Amino acid sequence: MVGTNESYDLAVVKVKESGLQPMALGNSANIAVGDSAIAIGAPLGLDGTVTYGIISAVDRPVTTGTQGDVSYINAIQTDAAINPGNSGGPLLDAAGRVIGVNSAIATLISGGEGGSIGLGFAIPVNSAKRIAEEIIATGSASTPVIGVTLDLSYTDDGAKVGEINKGGPSEDAGLLKGDIIIKLGDRVINDSTELVVAIREFAPGDPVVIGFTRGGVTREVTIKLGSAEAS
């Protein structure tokens, strides 16, 4: 095991065998709703199972895990059948290129025991590639942050800043407690989860434009993302 990143639900392993041919990687930024999607995995221990469907949605904010051990995914949603045992397997496009890493399903029973109901989620390959490369280079991976604690009791549109981390990117950029973040780059922010997964599409050090409201006035500020070591 080279390293893991629970925040992204990813791990990198090193094998001794040589001459292995890796699968070709696609570009998850280029996929669209309606595109073909092929999932490969070992559901219920059945190795090499292949299922077929389409891309149902992109940029779907998804949380997985339990309280205190939550992963946030800016997911690709697919109706290709994904079941327990598919996690970690590839999601392919029609040309056989990897566009995602299968990660989670929605079920009618908690814990995933209920099996597929046509709502499967995959980590976009562009995100997985960045994290894997950082783990290979350093043994760990960092998580981009803007340096705030969000007010999770806020239920209207947007994400409300609860606290500003002293010396963090948001303090440097002039964000204040109580600001409502409504946009990150070109993406509209509907809630706190969407803000978290939107930030994680970038890398530490990237500049991002954040749109927010303060006292009913809409403003914009550019923030250079900070870094927190991911678990």
pTM of this prediction?
A: 0.79
User: In the chain, what are the domains?
Assistant: 3-138 (2.40.10.10), 142-229 (2.30.42.10)
Q: Which of 108, 125, 129, 122 is nearest to 78 (CA)?
A: 122
pLDDT in tens, 122-134: 999 999 999 999 9
pLDDT in tens, 177-216: 999 999 999 999 999 999 999 998 898 999 999 999 999 9
